[in-house]
Each structure stands twice: as structure tokens, then as C-alpha cells.
Amino acid sequence: MLRYFYAWTPLVLVATIVLLALPWLGLIALIIVSLVAVPALAFATVVAPYLLVRAISRRLQGRHIASHRPAVVRASTAQRPTLRKGYVS
């Protein structure tokens, strides 16, 4: 009868509204949500600036290393080793 998951959506919404309409169940739900949301918000507040500073410092460090990297000298064809018959490179 209810074959797909979205068919249960109206039942879930109505049950949620009925349960949260009861004052003491609504208070319990609010406490549970706050116990999850407050630490998540605190964690995001602490971690986001840390990750931002870390990304900026890596980008600046990459530019610094790239600007001080010496030029690559290409070997001429005369300096390359020659392949002899019978040798596998």
C-alpha cells in the first residue's frame, strides 16, 4: 500500500505536529535539539576560523615556495644516455 518512502511523509508530519503540540513533549524535544545544536554551533564557531586560517597560510606558503624555486635546467640530447641493444629501460 505505502510502497515509497515519501508516502509516509504526511503521517510523519502529522505525528510530529501532534507530539510537539503537547507542552511537555515539546519541551523535551526542545531540550534534545538544544543539546545537539548548541555543541554543533560551538564546534563550527571554533573550527571554521581555524580551517580558514590554515587554508590561507597554505596558499601563501605555496606562493612563497613557488617564487623561490630555481629554474629547471633541461638536459641536452647529448647528455641523455643512449639505449643499447639488449638493454631494457
Q: Dump pLDDT digits (tens) for 2-29.
A: 567 777 888 889 988 887 788 887 788 8
pLDDT at 43: 92
Whether residue 79 is contained in a domain is answered as: no
**Domain with 61 in it:** 7-65
Integer Cα distance of 63 and 75 in angstroms? 27
Whether residue 60 is contained in a domain is answered as: yes
Whether residue 83 is contained in a domain is answered as: no
Residue 58 near residue 66, CB atoms below 8 Å: no
Let me know if 20 is exposed, middle or buried by CB neighbors in 10 A (0-12, 13-18, 19+).
middle
**Residue that wins the pLDDT comparison between 67 and 4:** 4
Number of domains in the chain: 1
Residues 6+ apart with CB under 8 A from 29: 19, 20
Over 60: is that where the pLDDT of 1 sits? no
Integer Cα distance of 12 and 6 in angstroms? 10
Of 29, 5, 2, 6, residue with least CA distance to 17: 29
pTM of the entire structure? 0.39
